[in-house]
A and B are shown apart, each in its own frame.
Chain A
Amino acid sequence: MKFLMTLLHVEAAGAAIPPEDMAKYMDQMYAYRAALIKAGVYVQTNGLANSSTAFTVRTEDGQLRVHDGPYADTREQAGGYFIIDTKDAEDARLWASRCPGATWGIVEVRQIIESRPL
């Protein structure tokens, strides 16, 4: 079963973290990724650019429109994600509880419903 773990945090607060603390945090993230790989449950991880760089595309009055900025102004923003492949949902919970992203933010976990191969 595959799961998407979205790492949410307050971007402004994240930017205020001293570089040496941030380096430690990133180091914990690398250690976490290494542990996922070693356990054979790792699929992918990446960071996301600042939410202010997001844009949205939607149809309004039959017209396709592109708006700069994120879709919703939330307190926390997604800063990155992991995809893991575990035996079951309980195992995904266990791995999510080890994610250092929960130290300063929120880790949201959702099962991935895989699309059929073409």
Chain B
Amino acid sequence: MSTPPEAGPARRAAERAARESYGRLVAFLASRSGDVAAAEDALALAFAAALRQWPVEGVPERPEAWLHAVAKRRQLDELRRHADDVRLAADWRVLLDEALPEADELPDRRAALLFACAQDGIEPAIRAPLMLQTVLGLTAAQIAEAFLMAPATLGQRLVRAKARIKRDGLAFALPDRADLPARVASVLDAVYAAYTKGWSEPDPAAGIAMAEEAIWLATVVTGLLPDEPEARGVLSLMLYAEARRRARTDAAGDFVPLSEQDVTRWDARMIELATRLLQAANDAPASGRFQVEAAIQSAQVSRRLGGTATLDDIVRLYDLLALLAPSPVVRLNRALAIAQRDGPAAALPLLDELDTDERMATYQPYWAARASVLAGLGLRDMAQVAFRQAIGLSSNAAVRSWLQRQSDGLGSVR
């Protein structure tokens, strides 16, 4: 192809640095200047310079430090151009910082940036998306998919939020301990959305990196707020899911649903940790969305391992979840739990109710669920239409093949 052969490794190194360091670098650069958009711009230019220079000059020994140095220089150039501006306080912070010797390791300020995105000046609905974009480097389209929002609208709101941070000079330091509890809910929403995004990522390596990042951030938040049961809840929830990662595909790379997974491939140590976290979370009086979702995971794992949890327990947990966090996604999962307990006929009316929600038209899990319920009822033609829609909306090749096998299987049982 058009890329010279020696450019391949350099380009891959730049891409890996972009994936692994994006959030850390934006957090670091923005924590000095308070301007997230400018930090992203400076970093984008640094990545562009890397793609130009690394294939020629070789990949630097510490790619992240190289990117940081170039982005910082770029940030300074930009500040000097606006030397007459009134944002003196921020400017001085950066210039002072410039005078300090380069640290070998960049301090990790991602957690601080997460909490900074949740401050009063930023409208609540945009906080989690803002964190995903600035700390985890997701695109507006990926975030829109995770939150069932229109990409164009979300993009505009993100731009407005960043302009607001810049105009009001909102601080990007770790907030006071007293401020953390009020901000933690949107931080946890963002962390969990990043984790679920990691699940559906078409590139497995990128998906694992994203999931690890989300688990790491949740661990940091749990450390900052040891009394916050929802932080433990979300960490428990993610660990239950992560423990099953290896079992989710078979040796041939094909998708395996939870009910058919080989439990010996589950990570027992991770499940034990998840269970301990859930128990610790449940010691607190309040019960939040993530605790309930972790409890559902725990019940499902327990059922597969021959424990005492029943299908009725799972439905009742979904009832509770629907009260705590009503959303079409929760209604969809509750319908699937009811299908398991009472059979597909009980679930179909619940799915039909959801069908009026226009967001479901392009929501892949809805069509996969609808297809399996219709198949269970023997409504072959309708099931095949739903399977087709689920296949057409999937970005995961293993899931596509699995859905196709389910759909083909309908033909033979007829």
Contact = CB atoms under 8 A, between A and B. Distances in A.
A94 to B, nearest CB: 4
A28 B151 contact: no
B389 interface: yes
A91 to B, nearest CB: 5
A87 B389 contact: no
B392 interface: yes
A34 interface: yes
Interface in B281-314: none
B53 to A, nearest CB: 25
Interface stretch (A43-51, A59-67, A98-106, A110-118): A98-106
Interface in B30-89: none
B141 interface: yes
Given A31-B392, A87-B150, A87-B152, A100 B1 contact: no
Contact of B392 (A32, A88, A102, A103): A32
Nearest to A86: B151
Interface in B1-55: 1
Given A87-B150, A90-B151, A31 B389 contact: yes
Contacts of A102: 202
Nearest to A106: B1
Interface of B: 1, 139-142, 144-145, 150-152, 155, 202, 361-362, 388-389, 391-395, 397, 400-401, 404
Contacts of A53: none
Given A38-B361, A76-B1, A24 B151 contact: no
A28 B144 contact: no
Given A35-B389, A98-B394, A93 B362 contact: no
B141 A34 contact: no
Contacts of B142: 94
Nearest to A102: B202
Given A27-B404, A35-B389, A90 B141 contact: yes
Contacts of A31: 388-389, 391-392
A88 B1 contact: no
Nearest to A90: B141
A27 B391 CA distance: 9
Contacts of A34: 388-389, 392
A109 interface: no
A74 B1 contact: yes
Nearest to B391: A31
24 contacts: A28-B392, A28-B404, A31-B388, A32-B391, A33-B392, A34-B388, A34-B389, A34-B392, A35-B362, A38-B389, A38-B392, A39-B361, A39-B362, A74-B1, A76-B1, A87-B151, A88-B151, A90-B141, A90-B144, A90-B151, A91-B141, A97-B395, A98-B393, A98-B395
A98 B394 CA distance: 6
